[in-house]
Structure 1
Amino acid sequence: MKLTGIHVFTIDALLGDVVDVGMTPTGRRRVIPVVGGTVRDGLDGEVLPGGADWNLERVDGSFELWARYELRLADGSVVSVTNTAVHAPAPQLPILTAPRFDVGDEGPVELRTGAYVGLLFPRLEEHRVRVEIHRVEIHGAPEAADA
């Protein structure tokens, strides 16, 4: 069996100013607002303002990303995105993320099921991130289980 990623679409999100919550029992919390952006390369639309990444720099130096935001597609449907990741102090780019989608019946319902991987490319000096969304697919016959 072989796993492959099929590119589905790209999100280019614009970010607002970081809100530094400060040190908490689990690490330094930062909230990074999502203020807009575009969806392209497979789906077309816009990133709606109002979402955020509730980012946590853990005491071991690693980072947790937990972002929630909405996309309005060209056909008017809305897709809610929850995107998570944990990466080392000095991340190798791109950062691998685990996006999940909540879609109404009028939207691209195929996003409701399956496994997806995001390739996140931060461009923080430009106040933006690019996330390339890929659907994971299985190819080939499964191997027999050992008895």
Structure 2
Amino acid sequence: MAPTLETKYVFTITARIAEVTTAGDIGQGVRRIIPIVGGEVRGAEVNGKVLPFGADFQIIRPNELIDLEAKYAFETDDGAVVYVENRGIRFGPVELLQKLKRGEPVDPGLIYFRTIPKFETGAEKYRWLMQHIFVASAARHADRVVIDVHQVL
């Protein structure tokens, strides 16, 4: 019998975002690029700041299912740099997703927004980030994305 899957909350990433750039309909949906311009990381074992570069690359499918892939980095309070690749999906009622696109507030509980973040770092103290699987629940706001990261045990 395989071990039971459990998760443990580890930290929250709040990524501040800038204006959306749209490359238009690419045949399989609309390509959007959303710059990541800063933010913070807060948790029991990891704290720091989101570095002001990187972006979330999205494809909005015709049914408003959003495939996303964010690439960015954060620096811990003790100076370690951690690269992040975060892939996931966002889905919900079309009218609510359209409100989000316009920057209007939407109750995050009404939107399915889940991701799988992967981390890379040369810092020994944070090597455990590369040695585990993580899943996250996220919420999109007009100026930021809030990502609660959980370690799969």
> Which consecutive residues of structure 1, in runs of 5 or more, have no partner in the other structure?
138-147
In the alignment, what sits opposite 1:21?
Answer: 23
**Larger proportion of strand:** 1
In the TM superposition, residue 58 of structure 1 has moved relative to its aligned partner by 1.5
In the alignment, what sits opposite 1:40?
Answer: 42
User: Does structure 2 conserve the Cα–Cα contact (< 8 Å) formed by 1:80 and 1:102?
Assistant: yes
Larger radius of gyration between Structure 1 and Structure 2: 1
User: Cα 1:113–1:29, aligned 2, differ >3 Å: closer, same or farther?
Assistant: same
3-state SS in 2 of match to 1:111: helix
In the TM superposition, residue 60 of structure 1 has moved relative to its aligned partner by 3.8
In the alignment, what sits opposite 1:5?
Answer: 7
**Larger proportion of helix:** 2
Alignment of 1:97-136 (within 5 A): 97-124=115-142, 127-136=143-152
User: Does structure 2 conserve the Cα–Cα contact (< 8 Å) formed by 1:33 and 1:50?
Assistant: yes
Structure 2 distance, partners of 1:41, 1:94, is 23
In the TM superposition, residue 89 of structure 1 has moved relative to its aligned partner by 4.6
Structure 1 distance, partners of 2:26, 2:16, is 27
Taking structure 2 as the reference length, the TM-score comes to: 0.81
43-52 or 57-66, which moves further after superposition? 57-66
Q: Choose the corresponding residue for 1:76, options 75, 79, 86.
A: 79
Following TM superposition, where does structure 1 have runs of at least 4 consecutive aligned residues deviating by more than 6 angstroms? none
In the alignment, what sits opposite 2:104?
Answer: none
Aligned residues: 135
Structure 2 distance, partners of 1:68, 1:19, is 16
In the TM superposition, residue 88 of structure 1 has moved relative to its aligned partner by 2.9
> Which consecutive residues of structure 2, in runs of 5 or more, have no partner in the other structure?
98-109
User: Does structure 1 conserve the Cα–Cα contact (< 8 Å) formed by 2:91 and 2:113?
Assistant: no
Structure 2 distance, partners of 1:54, 1:107, is 30
Show CA shifts across 1:5-57 (max 9, x none): 10111101100011111111221011000000011122111000111000110
Sequence identity (%):
34
